[in-house]
Amino acid sequence: MLMAIGDIAFKAGAESYEELRRSAAYRWQSVNRAGRRPARQYGGIGEEIIELSGTLYPHFTGGLKRMADLRDLAATGKAQILVDGLGNVMGKWTIDRVQETQTVFLEHGQPRKIEFELQLSAYGDDNGGAS
C-alpha cells in the first residue's frame, strides 16, 4: 500500500497514483517599524495540501468504481484518516477535489483510460495543536 484515506487504499501497480505533490504554508505576518524595514512574526503553520495524480485503466483495475468511491467518500463531508505506506498516521484530511479525464472510449461509452487528480487538505487538530 502506498497510502490510504478512509477505507480507500492506493496500492502499488495498476491501482495507484503516479505523482504525489505536497505543499505546506507557514504564516508570517509583517510588523511595521518606524524608520526600519518591517519585521516578520511567525504566526504558525498554515494549510498543508497533498495532490495525487495518475492514470487508471478500467478494464484492468476497475477504475470507474475507484473514482465513484472517491467521490462518495468526499461527499460524506467528513475528514478522513490518512495513512502513508510506512504506516504513519498523518491525521485527519479532507478530500477537496476529485477530477477525472476519460479518454479512449469503447463502443458503449466506457473509457479505457482515466487520468485523475485528487486534492487533500490537512483538517487540523481540534485540540489546539498544529496537526
Which domains, from first to last, does the chain contain? Answer: 3-122 (2.40.30.200)
pLDDT in tens, 93-103: 999 999 999 99
Q: What ranges make up the beta strands (E) of the chain?
A: 3-5, 8-10, 19-33, 36-56, 80-84, 89-105, 111-122
| pLDDT confidence bin for 128, thresholds 50/70/90 | low
Q: Which residues contact 71 (CB under 8 A, 6 or more apart)?
A: 98
pLDDT in tens, 30-86: 999 999 999 999 999 999 999 999 998 888 777 788 899 999 999 999 999 999 999
Note the residue count of the chain: 131
Cα dist. 33→15, 28, 30, 46 in Å? 55, 16, 9, 25
Per-residue pLDDT, 96: 98
Q: Are 48 and 24 in contact (CB under 8 A)?
A: yes
The average pLDDT across 105-125 equals 93
Closest CA to 68 of 120, 19, 18, 116: 116
